[in-house]
Structures are given as C-alpha cells and as structure tokens.
C-alpha cells in the first residue's frame, strides 16, 4: 500500500469570502475545490507544499493559520490518500502567475477562481463532501 499526501487551503479573502476553484470538464457536472495539491519530495514540510501549490494554482500568497482537519481515504487502486486542510488567509493573488501544468493542457478543462460567501456553500457541488460538511458546521 502506498501513501499519497496532499494539502489544501480553506482560503478566506479580506471580505471573509471563501476562495474556491470551479472545475469544469467535459461530461462532468461542474464542481468546486479548495486550492492545493500533492506534496512533493522537494517540499520541506506541509506548509511549504501548500504555499507552492497556492502560487502554482492562483499565483497567490497566503498566511497559514492552523490545520483545520485531516481526511484519509483509500482510493480504488489501494493507495491511501491523506489530505491536510489548513485554514488560511489570502494575502494576494495574480492569475497571470499561474504555473501548474494543468493550465497549459486544454483537455484538463477550465479552472475558474471564485470568491463565495459562506451562506452559498449548501448550493455548491463542493468536493470532497467532508469539506462541505466541515464548512457547514
């Protein structure tokens, strides 16, 4: 069994809105995710990985507040996926600074940054469901 670790930011802007990435792919219902991604061998720690991912995905800088929760699940191929969600404050972002490979591949669909009020969370197709449950507590 192999372990994959990823990090995600529960990201709030200065207005208290949550910052999500709306994912639109062919043949899928649109869904929203928090910015973040996989921890790489070159990352010093989880916080370094999250800051790198935020820069790649939204050209952003963040202040990490604390760990919000961890989620562990077994994927169909036997891989254990551990995701650490951090509460973070968005300091700034610049979409012209996005640098992840997914933004260069049109087949990966659209990535749209959306700033959403907490009250709208129940209406979103937010993934993973555990994140939606956490935010609605």
| 110-126 tens-digit pLDDT | 889 999 999 999 999 99
**How many domains does the chain divide into?**
1
State the average pLDDT over residues 81-107. 87
Q: What is the CATH number of the domain that holds 49?
A: 3.90.79.10
CB 12 within 8 A of CB 44: no
Phi-psi region of 65 (alpha: psi -120 to 50; beta: other; left: phi over 0): alpha
Range of the domain at 19: 3-135
Pair of tokens at residue 63: 């202040």
pTM higher than the cut 0.75: yes
Pair of tokens at residue 90: 């968005």
| 17-26 tens-digit pLDDT | 999 999 998 8
Alpha helices in the chain (DSSP H): 46-58, 129-135
């Amino acid at each position: 069994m192999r372990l994959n670790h990823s990090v995600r930011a529960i990201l709030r802007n200065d207005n208290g809105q949550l910052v999500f990435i709306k994912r639109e792919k062919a043949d899928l219902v649109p869904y929203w995710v928090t910015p973040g991604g996989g921890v790489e061998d070159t990352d010093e720690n989880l916080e370094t990985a999250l800051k790198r991912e935020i820069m790649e995905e939204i050209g952003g800088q963040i202040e990490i507040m604390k760990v919000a929760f961890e989620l562990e699940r077994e994927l169909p191929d036997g891989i254990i996926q551990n995701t650490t969600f951090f509460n973070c404050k968005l300091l700034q972002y610049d979409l012209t600074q996005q640098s992840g490979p997914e933004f260069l591949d049109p087949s990966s669909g659209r990535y749209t940054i959306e700033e959403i009020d907490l009250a709208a969370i129940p209406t979103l197709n937010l993934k993973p469901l555990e994140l939606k449950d956490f935010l609605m507590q």
